[in-house]
Amino acid sequence: MTARAHRYIQFAAQYEPEGIHLSLPLEGDAAQMLQGWGDNAAHHAQFTYNGIRLKGHPGLDMLTAPGALIRATDRGRVVEISNEPHGLGRSVKIEHRWGESLYAQVGEILVETGQVVERSQAIAHADVLRRAFPTHLHFAIRIHPYNRFDGWGGFSDPTPFLYVAELTMLAEEIDSDTEEASLSTLPRLAPDVSGLRRP
């Protein structure tokens, strides 16, 4: 049996690569993760983003309570509100001076396309529907210049840019009999559809 223990990431002395400093999109100053950046590569390799097979999980899945407020991590303008059934679900995309942020798997949306939002402004509520996986926010960022065909959908690891006290991974006990069942409960991406652009 192998154990996947808690992974703690401390940011007491936060640094800001590229001059980007983001607040946590959830309440508080700590978050527990369902999936981190690049996790579960074999699971995500079965999905494509813009026709390119994914190299791993292209964002952070942060556990949250159903209906909790989701907040903008930086000042920007809402450029897209979309819905990808059986995939990212309802999402909000915000354009910033440095790139864009994506908030997916959300429920009620509190903003409109074209609206300027401030850092920490409430933009949505977490989803309240019961699913096979725990309620979470899928958070991702793209930094200019980015390449949507890089195997990550153009996204970058948000972890170094977030000002948080602590990110922790869910502890999992996985053995060969339960690993497949565990992966089957992870959020999935919808298949690429010709003519439809992913967020």
pLDDT in tens, the chain (199 residues): 333 433 444 443 344 556 889 999 998 878 899 999 999 999 999 999 989 999 999 999 999 999 999 999 999 999 999 999 888 999 999 999 999 999 999 999 999 999 999 999 999 999 998 777 889 999 999 999 999 999 999 999 999 999 887 788 875 433 434 444 355 567 877 778 777 778 8
Domain that holds residue 159: 20-173
- Does residue 133 lie in a domain region? yes
pLDDT given at position 90: 96
Question: Which residue type, as a one-letter code, is found at position 137?
Answer: L
End-to-end CA distance of the chain: 38
pTM of the shown model: 0.86
- Does residue 165 lie in a domain region? yes
Widest CA span of the chain, in angstroms? 51
Please give the Cα distance from 199 to 183 (Å, whole number). 24
- Does residue 138 lie in a domain region? yes
pLDDT given at position 78: 98
pLDDT given at position 3: 37
- Does residue 157 lie in a domain region? yes
- Does residue 194 lie in a domain region? no
Please give the Cα distance from 75 to 96 (Å, whole number). 7
Structure token pair of residue 53: 């097979």
pLDDT given at position 16: 52
pLDDT given at position 9: 45
pLDDT given at position 122: 98
Number of domains in the chain: 1
pLDDT given at position 17: 57
- Does residue 183 lie in a domain region? no
- Does residue 11 lie in a domain region? no
Pairing of strands 30-35, 60-63: antiparallel
pLDDT given at position 59: 97
Q: CATH number of the domain that 165 lies in?
A: 2.70.70.10
Structure token pair of residue 118: 């401030």
pLDDT given at position 183: 56
- Does residue 77 lie in a domain region? yes
